[in-house]
Amino acid sequence: MTTSNPASGTRHAARAARRAAGPAPAVGPDSTSGESPTRSVPVIAEGLETPAGGRRRRGPSERNRPLWMLIPGGVLMVIVIIVPLLLGIYMSFLDLDQYTLRQWIEAPFIGVANYIEAVSQTNLFHGVWLSVSYSFIATVIAMPIGIAAAVATQNAFKGRALVRSVFLIPYVLPSFVVATVWRTMFQPGSIIDKAFHVFGADPGLFLNGPNTYWTLVFVQIWASWPFIYLLALAGLQAVDHEVHEAAALDGALWWKKLRYVVFPYLRGPISLAFIIGMLNHINNFTLPFVLFGIPAPHDVELLPVLTYVTSFQSFRFGLSAAMAVVSLILIAIPLFIYLRVVKLDDAEQGGRK
Amino acid sequence: MRFGTKASLAAIATAAALALSACGSGSSSSSSSGAVNGAGKTLDVLVGVNTAYPQQQKQWMSDTAAKFQQQTGATLKFETFTSANEELTRIQTSVVSGQGPDVYALGTTFTPTAYSTGAFKVLSDSDWSKIGGKDRFNQAALGISGPDQSHLIGVPFASRPFVMAYNKTLLQAAGIDKPATSWDDLATQAKKLTDPAKGQYGMAIAYKDNFDPWKYIWGMSVQAGNPLVDGKTAKLDDPTVKTAYSTYFGWLTKDKVVNPASVGWTNSQALADFASGKDAYFLMTSSGSIPTLDKSALKDQWDYALMPTVAPGQTSDKAGSNSAASILSGDNLVVANYSKNQDLAFAYINLVTSKDEQLNYQKIFGDLPANADALASLDSAPHMAALTQAAKESKATPFTGAWSDIQLDLLNVVVQSIPDLSSGNVSDSSLNSRISDAQNKAQQSLNRAK
Nearest CA in chain B to A327: B4
**Containing structural domain, residue B148:** 28-160+328-395
Q: How far apart, in whole angstroms, are the C-alpha atoms of residue A310 and residue B260?
A: 33
Residue B1 resides in a domain:
no
Do B167 and B154 share a structural domain?
no
CB-based contacts of A63: which residues, under 8 Å, 6+ apart? none
Average pLDDT over residues A194-218: 88
SS (H, E, C) A60-115: HHHCCCCHHHHHHHHHHHHHHHHHHHHHHHHHCCECCCCCCHHHHHHCCECCCHHH
Do B136 and B285 share a structural domain?
no
CB-based contacts of B273: which residues, under 8 Å, 6+ apart? B204, B259, B262, B265, B279, B282
Q: Does A51 lie at the interface with B, CB-CB under 8 angstroms?
A: no
CB-based contacts of A8: which residues, under 8 Å, 6+ apart? none
Q: CB of B360 within 8 A of CB of B371? A: no
The 10s digit of each residue's pLDDT in B124-142 is: 999 999 999 999 999 989 9
**End-to-end Cα distance, chain A:** 17
Question: Mean pLDDT score of chain B, rounded to an integer?
Answer: 87
- Chain B residues touching residue A317 (CB < 8 angstroms): 11
The 10s digit of each residue's pLDDT in A50-96 is: 444 455 666 667 777 888 889 999 999 999 999 999 999 999 999 88
Distance from the B18 Cα atom to the nearest Cα atom in chain A, whole angstroms: 10
Do B312 and B184 share a structural domain?
yes
Average pLDDT over residues A89-106: 84
CB-based contacts of B352: which residues, under 8 Å, 6+ apart? B64, B157, B333, B358, B361
Do B413 and B388 share a structural domain?
no
State how far Cα B92 lies from the chain centre: 20
Q: CB of B332 within 8 A of CB of B116? A: no
Residue B297 resides in a domain:
yes
Strand, helix or coil at B255?
coil
Residues A311, B264: C-beta atoms closer than 8 Å: no
Cis peptide before B382 (omega within 30 of 0): no
Q: What angle do CA B152, B158, B160 make, to 5 degrees?
A: 110
Q: How far apart, in whole angstroms, are the C-alpha atoms of residue A297 and residue B80?
A: 31
Residue B42 resides in a domain:
yes
Q: Does B27 lie at the interface with A, CB-CB under 8 angstroms?
A: no
Residues A99, B449: C-beta atoms closer than 8 Å: yes
Q: Which of A309, A238, A279, A196 is nearest to B405 (CA)?
A: A309
Residues A210, B419: C-beta atoms closer than 8 Å: yes
**End-to-end Cα distance, chain B:** 30
Amino acid, res. A70: L
The answer to whether residue B343 scores a pLDDT higher than 60 is: yes
Q: In which band, very low, low, confident or very high, does the pLDDT at A346 lie, cut at 50, 70 and 90? A: low
Least confident of A42-46, A253-257, B326-330, B439-443: A42-46
Residues A98, B401: C-beta atoms closer than 8 Å: yes
Residues A102, B10: C-beta atoms closer than 8 Å: no
Strand, helix or coil at A209?
coil
Q: What CATH code is carried by the domain that includes residue B368?
A: 3.40.190.10
Stretch 286-315 of chain B: residues touching chain A, C-beta under 8 Å: none
Number of Cα atoms under 13 Å in the Cβ half of residue A275:
20
Q: CB of B128 within 8 A of CB of B134? A: yes
Q: Which of A119, A232, A295, A194 is nearest to B409 (CA)?
A: A295
Residues B3, A327: C-beta atoms closer than 8 Å: yes
Q: Thinking of the domain A122-315, which architecture would CATH place it in?
A: Orthogonal Bundle (1.10)
Residue B72 resides in a domain:
yes
Do B235 and B135 share a structural domain?
no
Q: Does B112 lie at the interface with A, CB-CB under 8 angstroms?
A: no
Torsion of CA A65, A71, A74, A75, to 10 degrees: 170
Residues A308, B263: C-beta atoms closer than 8 Å: no
Q: CB of A344 within 8 A of CB of A337? A: no
Q: CB of A178 within 8 A of CB of A289? A: no
Residue B18 resides in a domain:
no
Say how many CB pairs under 8 Å bridge A and B.
Answer: 159
Looking at residue A134, its pLDDT comes to: 95
The 10s digit of each residue's pLDDT in B71-118 is: 999 999 999 988 766 777 788 788 888 889 999 998 887 888 888 888
Amino acid, res. B124: S
Residue B353 resides in a domain:
yes
Helix count (H) and strand count (E) of chain A? 17, 0
Residues A101, B92: C-beta atoms closer than 8 Å: yes
The answer to whether residue B275 scores a pLDDT higher than 90 is: yes
Of the candidates B6, B411, B418, which has its C-beta nearest A209's C-beta? B418
Q: Does B39 lie at the interface with A, CB-CB under 8 angstroms?
A: no
Q: Does B416 lie at the interface with A, CB-CB under 8 angstroms?
A: yes
Q: Which of B64, B158, B86 is nearest to B387 (CA)?
A: B158
Q: How far apart, in whole angstroms, are the C-alpha atoms of residue B205 and residue B260?
A: 10
Q: Which of B237, B191, B203, B241 is nearest to B219 (CA)?
A: B241
The answer to whether residue B443 scores a pLDDT higher than 90 is: yes
> Which DSSP category does B335 fall into?
E
Looking at residue B85, its pLDDT comes to: 67
Looking at residue A104, its pLDDT comes to: 75
Do B272 and B171 share a structural domain?
yes
Residues B448, A99: C-beta atoms closer than 8 Å: yes
Residue B284 resides in a domain:
yes
Do B114 and B202 share a structural domain?
no
The 10s digit of each residue's pLDDT in A216-255 is: 999 999 999 999 999 999 988 888 888 888 888 888 888 8
* Other CB atoms within 10 A of residue A2 CB: 10
Query: Residue B34: left (phi > 0), alpha (psi -120 to 50), or beta?
Result: left
Q: How far apart, in whole angstroms, are the C-alpha atoms of residue B271 and residue B291?
A: 11
Residues A307, B8: C-beta atoms closer than 8 Å: yes
Helix count (H) and strand count (E) of chain B? 17, 14
Do B176 and B105 share a structural domain?
no
Q: CB of B142 within 8 A of CB of B171? A: no
- Phi and psi angles of residue A122, each rounded to the nearest 5 degrees, phi first: -110, 175
Residues A83, B423: C-beta atoms closer than 8 Å: no
Of the candidates B13, B208, B422, which has its C-beta nearest A204's C-beta? B422
Average pLDDT over residues B201-229: 93
Do B311 and B206 share a structural domain?
yes
Nearest CA in chain A to B415: A297
E strand or H helix at B49, and its extent?
Answer: none
Looking at residue A11, its pLDDT comes to: 45
Average pLDDT over residues B440-444: 93
Q: How far apart, in whole angstroms, are the C-alpha atoms of residue B429 and residue B417?
A: 12
Residue B66 resides in a domain:
yes
Q: How far apart, in whole angstroms, are the C-alpha atoms of residue A38 and residue A247?
A: 14
Do B292 and B152 share a structural domain?
no
Looking at residue A55, its pLDDT comes to: 58
Q: Which of B100, B73, B77 is nearest to B88 (CA)?
A: B100
Looking at residue A7, its pLDDT comes to: 42
Strand pairing class (B326-327; B302-305): unpaired
What interhelical angle do A83-91 and B6-20 show, nearest 10?
110
DSSP string spanning B95-131? HHHT-S-SEEEEEGGGHHHHHHHT-BPPPPHHHHHHT
Residues B408, A314: C-beta atoms closer than 8 Å: yes
Q: Does A207 lie at the interface with B, CB-CB under 8 angstroms?
A: yes
Question: Mean pLDDT score of chain A, rounded to an integer?
Answer: 80
How many structural domains comprise chain B?
Answer: 2
Indicate which of A103, A202, A208 best probes the interface with B, i.e. most B CBs within 10 Å of its own CB. Answer: A208
CB-based contacts of A31: which residues, under 8 Å, 6+ apart? none
Strand pairing class (B279-285; B368-369): unpaired
Do B338 and B314 share a structural domain?
no
Q: Where are the alpha helices (DSSP H) in B302-427?
A: 342-352, 355-365, 372-376, 384-392, 403-423
Assess: ipTM above 0.90: no
Looking at residue A65, its pLDDT comes to: 80
* Other CB atoms within 10 A of residue B21 CB: 13
Q: Which residue has the higher pLDDT, A338 or B183?
A: B183
- Phi and psi angles of residue B283, each rounded to the nearest 5 degrees, phi first: -90, 165
Do B229 and B311 share a structural domain?
yes
Looking at residue A20, its pLDDT comes to: 42
Report how far apart, in Å, the C-alpha atoms of B217 and of each of B87, B186, B262, B322 are. Answer: 26, 16, 18, 17
Strand, helix or coil at B248?
helix
The answer to whether residue A175 scores a pLDDT higher than 50 is: yes
Residues A297, B415: C-beta atoms closer than 8 Å: yes
Q: CB of A100 within 8 A of CB of A108? A: yes
- Chain B residues touching residue A187 (CB < 8 angstroms): 261, 264, 269
Q: Does B272 lie at the interface with A, CB-CB under 8 angstroms?
A: no
The 10s digit of each residue's pLDDT in B7-63 is: 454 454 454 444 444 333 333 333 344 567 778 899 999 998 887 788 999 999 999
Q: Does A307 lie at the interface with B, CB-CB under 8 angstroms?
A: yes
Looking at residue A330, its pLDDT comes to: 86
Strand, helix or coil at B332?
strand
Stretch 146-185 of chain A: residues touching chain B, C-beta under 8 Å: none
The 10s digit of each residue's pLDDT in B384-441 is: 899 999 998 888 889 988 888 899 999 999 999 999 998 889 999 999 999 999 999 9
DSSP string spanning B306-323? PPP-B-TT-SS--S-SS-
